[in-house]
Structure 1
Amino acid sequence: MMELLYNLDINLLYAINGINNYWLNILMIFITNTTYLTIVLIMALIFSKNRYVFLNISIVMVLIAITAYGLKYGINEPRPYYVLNNLHLLVPMENEPSFPSGHTTFAFGLWTAIILNLKKMNLKKELNNIILTVLLIWAFFVAFSRIYVGAHYPHDVIGGMILGIIGALIYNKVSNRILKNIITS
C-alpha cells in the first residue's frame, strides 16, 4: 500500500511538473514567488479594517509558522529535485526540507483564519463570499504552483493544506484567549 501511494505521489509530481506551458510557467512562477507578499498585503488590508482581527490572525499565522517549520526540520524530507531526475525546476533550489509545503500551509492557514474572523470585520455578506472564494482559489493555485515549479511533492502540499486548516482552527481559539486576557488585563 505504501509503495502504491509513493508511486502515485511521484507520478502525480511528474505529471503536473511536466505540463511545461509557457504562459502557465509564468503564472505559476509568479504565484509561487508572490505568496508571502500576497499574505502581507492581505494582512495590511485586514489591519486597515479591524486591528483586533489583524492581531488575532497574526498570532494564528505565527503559531502555524512555528508548527510548520518544526515539522519541516523534524521530518527533514529532502526536496524532490535532490532525489528525482528529470524535473522541470522553475525556481531556485531551496535548502530547507520539503514536508510540509510552507507556502501551502500559510495560504490555507490564512484562508481558514479569515473564515473564522470575517464576521468581526463587518463587511457586506456578498463581499464575504467573494473574499472567501477568491482566497480559496488563490490557496489552491499556491498549492498547485509548488508542485508545478518542482519545489514540492503532492503529499507536501496536501500536508500543508491540512496543517494550515487544522492549525488555524486550533490556533484561532488560542489566539482569542490570548487577546481576551490581554484586553481584560
Structure 2
Amino acid sequence: MIEILDNLDKQWLLALNNDYSVFWDGIMFAFSEKITWIPLYISMIYVIYRRWKKESWWLILALILSVVFADQIASGILKDWVARLRPSHDPSLAGQVVLVNGYKSGLYGFVSSHAANSFALALLSSLFFRNRIFTVFIFLWAFINAYSRIYLGVHYPGDVLGGALVGVFVAVVLFLLLKKIRPPLFAEYRTGEIKYMIPVWIFLVTCVGLIGYSVWFF
C-alpha cells in the first residue's frame, strides 16, 4: 500500500512539476521565500491591534505559536522521523524533476513545513477575523505557497498535503484553547470592517511586485 501511494505521489509530482517558463520560475521562487511576506504579516498584526487593542497580544502570540508549533512538528519531528527524500534528492527521479536555479532545499521533505506554516496561519487568522474576503485570499495565499514547493521540485504533493493537515490541526487546537482561556475575545465579531481588507490589498500589491521581480530579474 505504501509503495502504491508513493508511486502515485511521484506521478502527481511529475504532472505538476513541469518546465513552464522563466517568468513563472521567478514568481514561484519569490513566492516561496518567507521574507517576501513580511509586509503581509505586519498588516495582519496591525489589523489585530486595531480591532482588539490591549487584548491583541493574545491573538498575536497565538499566530506566532501556530507557526512555531507547525514548523517544529513538520521540520523538527516528522522530517527526520519519516526520513523521506525530497524529489530533488531522490536518485530515482534524477533528470526528471525540474529544479529552479538549482535549488534543492534540505534532504528530507515529509511533511512540508511551508505548507504547515501557511495553513496554520491562514486558518487561525481566518477564525480570528471571520471575514469572507480575507478568508478567500489568505487561503489562496496558503495554497499557492504550498504549490510553489511542488513547482520548485522540492516537495511531493503528499508532503504538501501532510503539511497542510499539520497546520490545520495546530490552528484548531490553538483556537479552541484561546477561546477557552479568553472567551471575551470572541464575544463579538465584526465581519464587515474595512480594515480586514488591508492584508488583502497587501497580498495583491505583493503579487504585482512578484510579477515585476520575475520580469526584471529572471
Q: Normalising by the residue count of structure 1, what TM-score does the alignment of the two structures yield?
A: 0.81
Q: Is 1:117 aligned with 2:120? A: no
Unaligned regions of 5+ residues in structure 1, if any? 120-127, 181-185
TM superposition shift of 1:60: 2.1
Equivalent of residue 155 in structure 2, options 149, 152, 156: 152
Distance 1:41 1:24 in 2: 22
Distance 1:176 1:76 in 2: 36
Calculate the aligned-residue CA RMSD, in Å: 2.1
Q: Is 1:79 aligned with 2:77? A: no
**Bigger radius of gyration among the two:** 2
Aligned length: 169
TM superposition shift of 1:176: 5.4
Identity among equivalent positions (%) equals 27
Distance 2:19 2:36 in 1: 26
Unaligned regions of 5+ residues in structure 2, if any? 50-55, 183-218
Which residue of structure 1 aligns with residue 172 of structure 2?
169
User: Where in structure 2 are the equivalents of 1:1-185 lying within 5 Å?
Assistant: 1-33=1-33, 35=34, 37-38=36-37, 40-49=38-47, 50=49, 51-52=56-57, 53-69=59-75, 70-83=77-90, 84-86=93-95, 87-91=97-101, 92-119=103-130, 128-175=131-178, 180=182
Distance 1:104 1:30, change over 3 A: same
Distance 2:78 2:5 in 1: 21
Q: Normalising by the residue count of structure 2, what TM-score does the alignment of the two structures yield?
A: 0.69
TM superposition shift of 1:134: 0.9
Distance 1:19 1:98, change over 3 A: same
Which residue of structure 1 aligns with residue 207 of structure 2?
none
TM superposition shift of 1:5: 2.0
